[in-house]
Chains A and B, each alone.
Chain A
């Protein structure tokens, strides 16, 4: 079966660092994506990992361990505008994206 787990909600403080974890069990793996989604809007691409290790992109970094079925998204220097849902998605054997339920991040002043 296909299963992608993320925490439902997280809260963090402006200027701080937050790590959002994602664990997955899927039939086939062709990469893991992180998307940001503001309420009522489309998911927007943040990062992509297909090999183990850390990918850094400005304030955002994403890590992947394929052997553990684990990824995390790291957000640094949090800003109020980072309040959103963060979606972990795995591209499976047939190249469709399989999404987790998303993590709703609230950034507080």
Chain B
């Protein structure tokens, strides 16, 4: 069964450093998402991406965050200057097209900011 792949599975970074979280969505999917889940809390929407541009972003997704689809297969989330409160599990998800098709989530990257 096709999978959404995320790397790394776990990243530890110092406060103020830049991190790039990588995702390879399912190859024929058209819609891409980043979500995050702070430990013990609910899954929160960050950003959606379609046709090489951001469709929607949440208030969490401020100027410190950016997304890119640099080469037609990878989908990256960059955090420019990490803060302690950015520590969370970050999930990438992709979806084929409009309609009732489900969102497939990757296995996540656990980001720890120290």
Contacts and interface: CB of A to CB of B under 8 A. Distances in A.
Interface of A: 31, 33, 35, 40-45, 48, 50, 87, 89, 94-102
Chain B interface mostly: strand
5 contacts: A40-B108, A45-B103, A87-B42, A89-B43, A102-B42
Contact of A42 (B31, B33, B108): B108
A42 B102 contact: no
Nearest to A35: B105
B113 to A, nearest CB: 18
Given A98-B45, A99-B43, 13 more contacts: A31-B100, A40-B110, A42-B107, A43-B43, A50-B100, A87-B42, A94-B48, A94-B56, A96-B33, A97-B35, A97-B43, A99-B35, A102-B43
Interface residues of B, number: 24
Interface in B22-44: 31, 33, 35, 41-44
A95 B7 CA distance: 26
Contacts of A89: 43
B91 A48 contact: no
Contacts of A99: 35, 42-44
A48 B106 contact: no
A97 B45 contact: yes
Contacts of B89: 40
